């Protein structure tokens, strides 16, 4: 990151680290996106925290790098509910983080060949 570069409102830009992926040549190409919760249409869920929200940065001092989908019934009502990949991809990491809880990180290949 350039030392003098900032994102909107003078905040540091969201950084994306290089994710070394073996065998990406055979990774399926994304042919569309699905809802990760409330499958198949997201019904009963909402995005509680989105990617790179400024309010999240101001509260926690770091960018939020994903989407948190919560059950409309609030609290732990979605505990144990299934989560689906939003598109074809490869699992890069699956582990429990003390501050985030259980995280499954996937990489996706777009029709243009970009890895997300």
pLDDT at 44: 92
Do residue 73 and residue 93 come from a single domain?
Answer: no
pLDDT at residue 81 tops 50: yes
pLDDT at 20: 52
pLDDT, tens digit, 9 for 90 and up, residues 18-56: 445 555 667 788 888 888 888 788 899 988 877 778 888
pLDDT, tens digit, 9 for 90 and up, residues 7-19: 444 555 544 444 4
Do residue 97 and residue 66 come from a single domain?
Answer: no
pLDDT at 72: 92
Asked if residue 50 is part of any domain, the answer here is yes
- Which residue blocks in the chain are alpha helix, DSSP H? 54-60
Do residue 49 and residue 61 come from a single domain?
Answer: yes
Asked if residue 40 is part of any domain, the answer here is yes
Do residue 63 and residue 41 come from a single domain?
Answer: yes
Q: DSSP string of 95-108?
A: EEETTTEEEEEEE-
Do residue 41 and residue 53 come from a single domain?
Answer: yes
Asked if residue 93 is part of any domain, the answer here is yes
pLDDT at 8: 45
Q: Are 36 and 46 in contact (CB under 8 A)?
A: no
Do residue 60 and residue 29 come from a single domain?
Answer: no
Q: Which two tokens stand for residue 47?
A: 């995005």
What is the pLDDT averaged over residues 90-112? 83
Do residue 71 and residue 91 come from a single domain?
Answer: no
Q: Which two tokens stand for residue 69?
A: 């989908």
pLDDT at 21: 55
Asked if residue 10 is part of any domain, the answer here is no
Asked if residue 7 is part of any domain, the answer here is no
Q: pTM higher than 0.75, yes or no? A: no
Count of domains observed in the chain: 2
β-strands 101-107, 68-71 pairing? unpaired
pLDDT at 84: 84
Domain of 70?
Answer: 36-81
Q: Which two tokens stand for residue 11?
A: 């905040």
What are the residues whose beta carbons fall under 8 Å from the beta carbon of 97, sequence distance 6 or more? 103
């Amino acid at each position: 990151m350039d030392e003098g570069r900032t994102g909107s409102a003078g905040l540091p830009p969201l950084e994306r680290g290089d994710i070394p992926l073996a065998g990406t040549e055979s990774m399926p190409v994304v042919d569309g996106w699905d809802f990760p919760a409330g499958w198949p249409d997201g019904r009963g869920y909402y995005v509680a925290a989105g990617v790179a929200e400024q309010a999240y940065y101001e509260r926690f001092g770091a960018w939020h790098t994903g989407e948190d989908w919560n059950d409309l019934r609030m609290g732990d009502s979605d505990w144990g509910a299934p989560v689906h990949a939003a598109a074809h991809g490869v699992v890069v990491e699956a582990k429990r983080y003390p501050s985030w809880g259980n995280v499954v990180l996937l990489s996706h290949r777009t029709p243009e060949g970009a890895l997300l």
